[in-house]
Structure 1
Amino acid sequence: MSRGAVPAKEGTEETDRLERVLTGGMPEGNCLILTAENVDRRKKLFKTVSAVGRVLSFSKVKGEARQRHAVQEMADGLLARTGKRLSTGAWAALGRKTGFELRESLGAIETLITYTGEKTQIEAEDVEAAIGRTKEETVFELTGALDERKLTTALQSLKALLDQGEPPLMIFAMIVREIRLLFQAKLLIASGRLGTFQPGIDYGLFQKSVYPAVRKIAGEGEDAIALASQHPFVVYQALKNAGRFSPAELAGYMERLARTDLALKTTAQDPRRLLERLLIAVCGNR
């Protein structure tokens, strides 16, 4: 048994004890708060909590643009109460480090408020100094290296994520997402329906003249194009980076992803080696 594991019998006894405490009622003036990232609503404990207390669900915001907006709204309120604000560069640096995940972002802002003392404006250098290297930052390094076909950086980022304890299947899912976005971007470019798009287009012009065309041909339901639901800058980067790959290469990578997925889930092959070979195939084939 691994260190820190709880025997099944002991875990059941602890759950039963908690259920008895809950059904017996809390002492007057006391309030018990339980938090969990995931719960099984079929379990007796969840039903007991629902019956004697109150269950609040804070679902993850779907869609990168909506997620960023939600973070910014809550962060603005937090900053306003302390008389501070984040510069444009600081917001960008925060996003690179937290991926605009709500909990991580608000925690980072609280750290920045304390770190900056009497300063009213938080700058990018404050973010770099106060917020350490995060998993999200390493993820961005990996996907960025993949987009730019920088093999050494991609392998270093993979190692860092695995060393941080990130599950191989989660890392694989990130790689799959990035290659799918590149493939969809390539198909959109080939469709000839993006108007004035050129790889060197300025981001401001892209937002005004190209992004509306992407949204227009996005589709709905099963026909929806996942790329079109991303933040405009993600779409912009995918369309620019797709030029580094040929249609045949990206189609081949999609097939390789399917084989790697099968190997990760049904064989005893080393996940690290499988992911390394995948990155070598994508970034080293130039």
Structure 2
Amino acid sequence: MSKKRSHTVDDLERSLASGELFPVYLLVGEEQFLRHRGRNLIHDAVVNERGGTVSIFNADDPLEGVLREVRGDSLFAARRMVELMEADAFLKQHGDALVRYLERPSASAVLVIDATKVDGRTRLPGVVRSIGMLIECPSLYEEKLPPWVRREVSRRGRKISGAAVSLLVDEVGSNLFALSTEIDKLITYLGERERIEPTDVAQLTGHTRSWIIWTLTDALGRRDVKAALRILEDLLREGSRPEALVGMLNWQITRLWRGRCLLDKGGTRRDVAAELRVGGKFLGALMEQIGQFTQDHLARISRMLLEADVALKSTMASEKMVLERFLVEACGATSVAGRRNG
């Protein structure tokens, strides 16, 4: 592997998979999840794949103990991993001593240094780059979270829709440990299914009423009547007003129809963004939903929404029954003609 100034955890994974193993790794950055993953990858390479041992030290441990461990010979293991955890204070006090060790490192030891920050004015970063890997683990900005979620789902052999990515990030936030945990739960929940949908996220992570409209329109686009009815049940149980749901659905369907018409006339993703005044993670989710509908389907749903709104205000039928009938028909389970002639 070429000696770049710094690497990512993905670079580390590829390096280890190729069989490389260096005498030192410096995992540095504010994102604990990435540092944790990096340590686990190195642990697997040293302990699980090569039958090595592991010793763990923290910032309060004496320098002599760390040096004794990295310099010592193992009688029973070909390799030994020495982890120096949360090492910021340790490096400030003993960084020069570690540099002196790394000038002539042990051939059987792998020193893994875990730190939030490292002083770039010291010799340590340069020495690590020359004989090992410096892996940056920064906190991810908001725009980096959706690609990260998609990669994590792909690592687990599954797929996830754009709308589901947006909903998951919106609900869970930027904590990668929490996001990873929710992804694991979603994978288990999927069973044999391959793709995570917004309805899955809503079921497992909890949901806000503003975002649940995405899940409802997504279910309509996929003509998934069971999912649509399940979402409706959740919303009504949480106290959502039926007329408010109709209003929000109508707002979203109108936006989808405008986007669909624009694309059918030869417009681009940028045109849709400008027309609907949407960008960032929301644009990707919106474009995916637009792709699920034709103009005719959206026009049909819009007419049904109007009829449902009238029924809510003027009939004695239960509000839940009116909305359930709308969802069943909008998903295509019952034809409009059949309902009108029945």
TM-score category, normalised to shorter length: 0.3 to 0.5
- Comparing both structures, which one devotes a greater share of its residues to strand? 2
- Comparing both structures, which one devotes a greater share of its residues to helix? 1
Larger radius of gyration: 2
User: TM-score by structure 2 length?
Assistant: 0.39
